[in-house]
Each structure stands twice: as structure tokens, then as C-alpha cells.
Amino acid sequence: MTIELERTDDVLFLEGPPLTHDGGDPGVDRLPPAIVETNPPSVDEPGPPESDPDVPFRPSSFGPSDRLEMVLAAVSGLAFAWALCLVMDWSHPLTFTIWAIIWFVAGIYVTARARTSKVVAMDRLVTTLIWLSGAFAVAILGWMIVFVLIEGIGGLVDDLPRGEWIARIGAVGLMIAAVVGVRWRSGRRSAAGTDTVLSRLLPRVVGSACAVGALMVLLPVINTEFFTADIAEVGPLDEGGGIYHALIGTLEQITIATVISVPIAILTAIYLHEIKGRLAVPVRFIVDAMSGLPSIVAGLIVFTVWVNTGRGFSGASAGVALAIIMIPIVTRTAEEILRTIDDGLRESALALGAPQWRSVVQVVLPTARAGLITASILGVARAIGETAPVLLTAFGSAVTNYNPFSAPQADLPLFIWGLLREPNEAQIARAWSAAVVLLLLVLVLFITARVIGERGARKRTGR
Amino acid sequence: MALTIPDAPAPDGALIDDVPRPIVQSRTFGDRIFRGISAGAAATCLFIMFATGVFLTWKALPAITATGVGEFLTGDTWQPDDEAFGVGGLLINTIMIALTALVVGVPIALGLALFINEYSPARMRPYLTGGVDLLAAIPSLIFGMWGLYALSEPLSGVAEWLASHLNAIPLFRLTEPDVSLTRSTFIAGFVVAIMITPVITSVSRDVMAQVPRVQCEGALGLGGSRWGMIRDVVLPFGKSGIVGSVLLGFGRALGETIAVVLVIDLVFQPNLNILEQGSGSISALIATKFGEAQGLEINGLIAAGLALFIMTLIVNLIARAIVNRSKLAG
């Protein structure tokens, strides 16, 4: 590598078309000539500020004056957009935001261009745009979650006076603050080496006490009817009714899907990474293709071979369809996990004379356990929100059907889907409340998977 | 060294005089069973995809033969009573939604990938990747509800602006002046764009993370700016992987069902005025018509599903081939 760098170093001082590619070495090809053009400031461009010749100039460095420029651009952008909206009589916040951002980005480019060089200005422009796209993605995710929560939370809790709400939420907030504070303090103490048995125990005690306290404050206000009643005898315009039948359906279908898909997926991952058999290449290719399979096609195939051949709609067929969706997700994640396990572990098992199956069952799988649980939970989190395949296989129902092997069954997404098709406020409100439950389920599953996965990864790499 | 290396043992593992026993021994009985079970599981995956193709084709044939292959792929009428099942218009609308999603989603997704890889502070990175994974895990139904109730209204304002200021572009023209601008390809494309962002971001991020760090350092060491490094080292290196990730996103967008059904009004005619009400997709057709379909119409829906299956399979296989090749090159 050093040689290549030296070579391009020479090229830097060439005038005119610099590089004569010697073709053979791809490394040289990839260090592209275009860098050369960006590097030495040509004559007609204002050079970098020559304050101290010993300090190397970095085009991407960001100092106090740049920060000032950025603040000025932001403030002037807001002012400009505000003035524009006043003059043109626009009122939509979206219009305001768009114009403010346009002015902000342009301002950053223009000031950087005026003060330094084209290269720096371009770099600053791209940096701004990329930060904006990051912020945009985070904002969208936050907007969506908050929007769903605001629309749907009302149906999940009892009607209480505003003062009581403030008191309850305030109490929970105080508890969270206490937990965070205690953890932070004990973290500081253990970092400083002044921790005692008590200071190590304290966060756990406070944490569990606050968790119990938060449950005691929040549980009584939850609308229990919503979770314990079904919708069979509730007219579309009536109050009341709940999602019990949908929860039962979700639970049964997801259990069936997990029981089918997780063993297949983990064994397939073992085949792909531990055995590396003859079929490994085509199987990996097909698993990749499966992960791009539209979910409705998974439902359609189960409908074709099972439901439509006289067996009728049922929860179990929905479980099979969901399993088809889960298999590629779990397989891919599980294979990644197996890949992180040190080969030394496998080899030491084999060196002790263990046959391969014992090395896998007693060494590899226990080491990978946390990761494999993570993979399965992520698969469940994906499957639990699928609507289309369940629509074609379980069809949906308003009554509680405990038997997954016969008759249509509801589940959570399907229940929401059915309500959304009805043009009526009460049903839509119910749909939003159920959507909050679904979203919270997915969030809890996702966070659980992450926490387990992280602990497992820390164990595997020995902290 | 006094050791002489013997000739390779005979491939069948038979012992030859004076040659050490081969390192690989014949597998134990337990191993053979273990390998058999795993191979069986792997074969199940192959079988599922194979069976999907076969059974869909088998059940689709009655409807396709009743309509005629050409009419099925190009027609835009759906009259079960006349045994006319044409999904040509829907195919075009499906592709239009997916393309709109790409136009909106690809810049955001690639910007996000670069942001996570090159720009974000290291402490933020795990949370950002977690956020991207979470975006992938959020149910499509919830995307659809959000698109319908939160996004539709501001976006129809944007659509109005586009229609009145950029109507030189044929796509943004309206057929009549006061046509409704909600429930259109444009809005569906926006929702789908956000749904395909995580796929594109995570795959292209993986590819771009494989750029040899030495080359990036080299570019910076030569005095290049960070953008210069990205433009001249990261992007050329990851080019094919990025193309592959975009194709993967396209495949996802083609098959998206529930979010699209919630946001659009299903029409069978191709609608190239993307701002106008009325759009469609194959999966939306299946989800909408499935409830009351009977007899041959069920076969028609299966045929539509087959078309979708083949289309996404081709796109996905090409995309995966490109991504895998670019990973091997790295």
C-alpha cells in the first residue's frame, strides 16, 4: 500500500493529464486521479487561509468561525422563510420549512465559497445535505411513532380529569429521573474506583422499586375492557368492545409460525455456515430471494395449496404463511451470528475428538444462544405486523376463535385492517388504539431482541 | 526438516502402506444424521420457493388461458363475468409507484447510509443503525395508516404546487383542472419510499463499509476533502453494491401491499399522471378483490400473484447477484 501512495504522490506534481494507468494493479486504479484535481489549489482559486504554515490545512476541519457561519445561515434562513411566508401569505408549516432549508443550505455554500475555496464549499454543502438526510430519517420515524401514539392512546386508557393525568405522568417522570440519576452516579463512582457494595446494589434496588411504582401508577388507568372483550356483539357505532379475539389469534398464529420457522431457519443457517454442503450456494441464493418475496405472495401460496383445497380459512394456515416470511429473516440473522463465533472454539471441540454434531450442539449453539434468540425475536417482530398473508389465510373474524385449526380467525393487524375499511369515526378510533398496541408490541420485541443480542455479543467477545 | 511429505492419500481415504492416516475420517453415524437433518431443512427452503412457482402457475393457468397470455399482460380490464383478466395497466401502475418511491427514497437512503458510515459521531452510530432496523420492523399497516391520515394532506399540497408550477413535465400534468390530488401514485410512492429506505440503507452501508480504510486515509492524506474522498473512493468502490441495493429496494417496492392499498384508489387503467387520484398495484388488486372473489376470479388473482412473484423474483435475483459480486470483490 505504501508504494502505491508514494506513486500517486509523484503524480501530484505532474502538470496536465497525470496518470498513466499501468492496468495490472487494481489498487492504483482505485486511487483515482480526480483527487489530484481537488488537491493543489489552482492559481485562480483563493487558497486556504494561510495562518500558520506548520498547521496542516484540512478541507473538512470545522472551527469556531465555521460554526458562526452555520448559526448565521440557520438564523437568516428562518428569518427569510418567515418574511417570505408573510409577504406571499403562505401559512403551511411545510412550505416554511422547505424555504428555510433551501436558504440555509444555499447560505452555507455561498459563505464558504466566498471565504475559502470551491473544494471546501462543496464539502460543506454535501456535509450539510447528508446531515439533513439523517435528521430527516430520524424525524420521520419519530413523527410516525408519536402520531400513532397520539391518535390511539385515548382508547387505551380510562377518561380521567386532566389534573390526575398530569400527576400520574409526573410521578412516572420523577421515577425515570431517579433511576437515570442513580445509574449515572454509580457509573461515575465505578469509573473512579470508589464504588462500594452498596453503591453497586443501589441502581438495581432503585430501578426495581421504580418499575413497580410506575406499574402501580399506570396500570389502574388502563382501559381493561379494550383488552378483555371482543367485538362480536358491538355494533359499528357503539362504544366499547376490544381486541381480545385479535390478541388470541395473534398469539396462536405467531406461536405456530415460530414453532415451524425457527427450527428450519436455524438448521438452515447451520447448514450454510457449519456444514457448508453442496447445496450451500443455491440455498443461500434462494433464501435471499425468499427475503424479497412479497408477503402477499406468501399468503397466496398457502391459500392455493391449503385453504382453497377445501380446508377453509384457519389460524394455522396463517401461521404457515407467516413462517414462510420468518424463515429467511431468521436464517440470515442466525448465519451472521454463527459467523461471529471464533473458529478456535469449533476447532478445539474437534481436536478433543468430538464429532461435528457434538461440537455444534454443545459448543457452537450454546455460545450463539443469545444471538439466535435475538434472530428469532426479530423474525417474530416482523411477522406480527404482517397483514396481507393473514388476510388470505385466516380471513378475520369478529368472534373469539380459540381453535386455530378450523374456522376464520382474527389477529391484530387484520382487525385493524377490517376497521379501517369502515367509514365511521368510532371504528377508526378503535383501529388507532389497536395500532398503538401493535406498535408497542413491535417496539417491545425489538428492544428485547437488541438487549439480549448486545449482552450475548459482550459475552462472546469476553466483554 | 527431516519430515518428508507423503503423497496425498487416496481420495477414498483408503490406507496405503507407510502413509499416515488421513486427517479426515469417515463421519460418525451421529454426524451423518446431523448433516442429513440440516440438509433437509435447507432443502425445505428450496422446496418452498419451487412449490410456490409450480402451484401458482398450475392454479393460474385456467385464468390465463381463458384470457389469453397477451391480453393478460397488456389488457386493463378486470371483468370476471366475461373471463377477462388484464393486469397490463396494473403492472404499469405498480412500476410507477415503485419508481416514484425510488426517486424519493434513494437520495434519502444513500444520504442516511453515508451519514451513518462517514459523518455521524461514533457514539451515535449504534442508535442510528438501531433506528434503521426499527424502521424496517414497523408494520406496513402502520405505515399505511400514517400515510393516509398524516401524510396525505400535506403531500396533496405539494402535488398541487407541482401541478401548477412544473406542468411542463408530462408526469405532473393533470387531465382535468379540478381532479382530486389525494389517493394518487405520488402519495403511495412517498409512503413506499420510506418503507424501502431501510433495505437500501443497510445493504449499501454494508458495501460502503468494505472500502479499504487505507484508501480513504490516502485520499484524506493527500489533502482531499471528505466529500472528495467519498466521491472518488467510497462511491466508485461501492458503485455496484449501491446499484444492487437500489434494485433490492425496487423489488420491495413492487411487492408492497397493505400500505399501498390504504393510500390509493385502485384503477385498472394505466395512470401516468402520477399526481392524480387513482393508481394501482398487483398486490393491491389481490388484497382488494380477494374478499368477494369466486370461481375463475380466484384463478385470475392467483395469476396476478404469479406475475408479481416472477417480477420480484427476477429483480431480487439480479440485485442479489450484483450485491454478492461486489462484496466478493471487496
Q: Which amino acid is at B266?
A: L
In chain A, DSSP finds a helix count (H) and a strand count (E) of 19, 0
Contacts of residue A185, Cβ cutoff 8 Å, sequence gap at least 6: A199
pLDDT at A151 over 60: yes
* CB-side neighbour CA atoms (13 Å) of B323: 25
Q: Indicate the helix (H) or strand (E) that contains B79.
A: strand B78-79
Together in a domain, A428 and A327: yes
Residue A55 lies in a domain: no
Given this model, what pLDDT does residue B154 score?
Answer: 86
Kindly give, in sequence order, each residue whose CB lies less than 8 Å from that of residue B238, ignoring residues fewer than 6 positions away: B204, B207, B208, B210, B211, B326
Is A450 inside a domain boundary?
Answer: yes
DSSP annotation of B84:
E
Q: Which residues of B touch A262 (CB under 8 A)?
A: none
Beta carbons of B246 and A62 less than 8 angstroms apart = no
Q: What local confidence, expressed as pLDDT, does residue B329 receive? A: 62
User: Which residues sit opposite A257 in a β-bridge?
Assistant: none
Query: Positive or negative, the Cα torsion across A433, B283, A380, A451?
Result: negative
Residue in chain B nearest A90 by alpha carbon: B157
Instruction: Note the helical H segments in chain B.
Output: 29-67, 69-74, 88-114, 125-137, 140-146, 152-165, 185-208, 213-221, 226-229, 235-255, 258-263, 282-289, 296-329
Amino acid code (one letter) for A289: A
A195 plus A304 within the same structural domain: no
Q: How far apart are CA B84 and CA B82, in angstroms?
A: 5
Distance CA A362, CA B248 (A): 37
Longest dimension (CA), chain A: 85
pLDDT at res. B145: 94
Verify whether the Cβ–Cβ distance A446 to B119 is below 8 Å: no
Chosen for mutation from A287, A296, A339 (greatest number of chain B CBs closer than 10 Å) is: A296
Radius of gyration in angstroms for the set of CA atoms belonging to chain B, rounded to a whole number = 26
Q: Is residue A123 part of a domain?
A: yes
A43 belongs to a structural domain = no
- Note the pLDDT of residue A42: 44
Instruction: List the grid coordinates of B39.
Output: 440438509
Place of cell 367509514: A423
The pLDDT of residue A89: 78
Residue-range domain boundaries for chain B? 69-329
Q: Along the 330 residues of chain B, how does pLDDT read in single tens digits?
A: 445 555 555 555 555 567 776 766 678 888 999 999 999 999 999 999 999 999 999 999 999 999 999 999 998 889 888 888 999 999 999 999 999 999 999 999 999 999 999 999 988 998 999 999 999 999 999 999 999 999 988 888 888 888 888 888 888 888 887 888 888 999 999 999 999 999 999 999 999 988 888 999 999 888 888 999 999 999 999 999 999 999 999 999 999 999 999 999 898 988 888 888 888 899 999 999 988 888 899 999 999 999 999 999 999 999 999 988 887 765
**Quick check: B115 contacting A, CB < 8 Å?**
yes
Top-ranked range on mean pLDDT: pick from A73-77, A120-124, A327-331, A339-343: A327-331
Is the model's pLDDT at A12 over the cut of 50?
Answer: no
- The region that residue A310 occupies, defined by phi over 0 for left and psi between -120 and 50 for alpha, beta otherwise, is left
How far apart are alpha carbons A22 and B96 in whole angstroms?
A: 45
Residue A50 has pLDDT above 70, yes or no: no
Please indicate, yes or no, whether residues A123 and A169 belong to a single structural domain of this protein: no
- The whole-angstrom separation of Cα B97 and Cα B94 is 5
Distance CA A304, CA B168 (A): 47
For residues B154 and A71, give the distance between their C-alpha atoms in angstroms, rounded to a whole number: 28
Contact B109, B197 (CB under 8 A): yes
> DSSP states of B218-233 as a string?
HHHHTT--HHHHIIII
Distance CA B183, CA B276 (A): 8
What residues of chain A lie within 8 A of the CB of B319, using their CB?
Answer: 292
**What mean pLDDT comes out for the span A126-146?**
92
Q: Is pLDDT above 90 for A255?
A: yes
The per-residue pLDDT for B13 is 52
Q: Which residue of A lies nearest to B285 if distances are taken between CA atoms? A: A296
Interface test with B, best of A5, A90, A95, A297 (most B CBs within 10 A): A297
Interface of B with A in 150-189 (CB under 8 A): 150, 154, 157-158
Task: Give me the sign of the Cα torsion angle A85, A91, A95, A96.
Answer: positive
Report yes or no: B43 and A277 within 8 Å, Cβ to Cβ: no
Instruction: Name the residue range of residue A88's domain.
Output: 64-132
Say what the pLDDT of residue A221 is. 86
The CA distance from A312 to the nearest CA of chain B, in Å, is 13
Residue A20 lies in a domain: yes
What is the tally of structural domains in chain A?
4
Confidence class of residue A57 from pLDDT cuts 50, 70 and 90? low
- In terms of domains, do A25 and A83 share one? no
How high is the pLDDT of residue A203? 84
Pair (A432, A309) in one structural domain: yes
For the range A73-76, what are the long-range contacts, defined as Cβ-Cβ under 8 Å and sequence gap of 24 or more? Answer: A73/A103, A73/A104, A73/A107, A73/A108, A73/A111, A74/A104, A76/A103, A76/A107
Q: What's residue B7's pLDDT?
A: 54
Residue A306 in any domain: the answer is yes
Q: Considering only CB atoms, which chain A residues are within 8 Å of B138?
A: 144, 385, 439, 442
Task: List, as ranges, residues 241-270 from B with C-beta within 8 Å of A.
Answer: 248, 251-252, 254-258, 262
Distance CA A404, CA A198 (A): 51
Other beta carbons within 10 angstroms of residue B328's beta carbon come to 7
- Summarised one tens digit per residue, pLDDT across range B252-270 is 999 999 999 999 989 898 8
* In CATH, B69-329 is 1.10.10.10: no
Extract the C-alpha cell encoding A332. 440470515
Tell me which of A387, A412, A441 to substitute to probe the interface with B (most B C-beta atoms closer than 10 Å): A387
A288 part of contact set with chain B, CB < 8 Å: yes
Which residues, numbered 313 to 332 in chain A, qualify as contacts with chain B under a Cβ-Cβ cut-off of 8 Å?
Answer: 324, 327-328, 331
Q: Judge if A346 and A456 occupy the same domain.
A: yes
Report the mean per-residue pLDDT for chain A. 84
DSSP secondary structure letter of residue A221: G
Task: Give the confidence band of A368 by pLDDT, cuts at 50, 70, 90.
Answer: very high
How far does CA B254 lie from the centroid of its chain?
7
pLDDT at A381 over 50: yes
Distance from CA of B24 to the nearest CA of A (A): 11
Which of A111, A109, A135, A133 shows the shortest CA–CA distance to A123? A109
Angle between helices A118-152 and B125-137 (to 10 degrees): 50
pLDDT the model gives residue A200? 79
User: For the residues A407-418, what does the mean pLDDT come to?
Assistant: 93
Whether residue A149 lies inside any domain: the answer is no
**Torsion sign across C-alpha atoms A327, A332, A337, A341:** positive
Those residues whose C-beta lies under 8 Å from the C-beta of residue B310, and which sit 6 or more positions away, are none
> Alpha-carbon distance A375 to A331, whole Å?
8
* B-chain residue closest to A392, CA distance: B290
B243 three-state secondary structure: helix
Closest by CA position to A435, among listed B134, B142, B137: B142
Q: Report the C-alpha gap between A428 and A417 in whole angstroms.
A: 10
The predicted model gives A280-286 an average pLDDT of 91
Residue identified by cell 526438516 is B1
- Buried b or exposed e, range A67-93, using 16+ CB within 10 angstroms: eebbeebbeebbebbeeebeeeeeeee
pLDDT mean over A252-271: 96
- At A308, which helix (H) or strand (E)? none
Nearest-by-CA chain A residue for B329: A26
What secondary structure letter does DSSP report for A60? T
**A76 vs chain B: nearest CA distance in angstroms?**
24
Residue of B34, B59, B158 lying closest to A356 (CB–CB): B34
In a domain, A233, yes or no: no
How is A380-414 classified by DSSP, letter by letter? HHHHHT--HHHHHHTB--SS----TTSS-B--HHH
Say how far apart CA A9 and CA A378 lie, in whole Å.
49
Instruction: Give tens-digit pLDDT for A298-317.
Output: 999 999 999 988 889 999 99
Res A202: pLDDT: 84
Best B59, B97, B129, B141 residue to mutate vs chain A (most A CBs within 10 Å): B141
Q: Which residue has the higher pLDDT, A65 or B248?
A: B248
Q: What percent of chain A has pLDDT over 90?
A: 46
> Cα–Cα distance between A178 and A207 in angstroms, integer?
8
Run of H or E including A119: helix A118-152
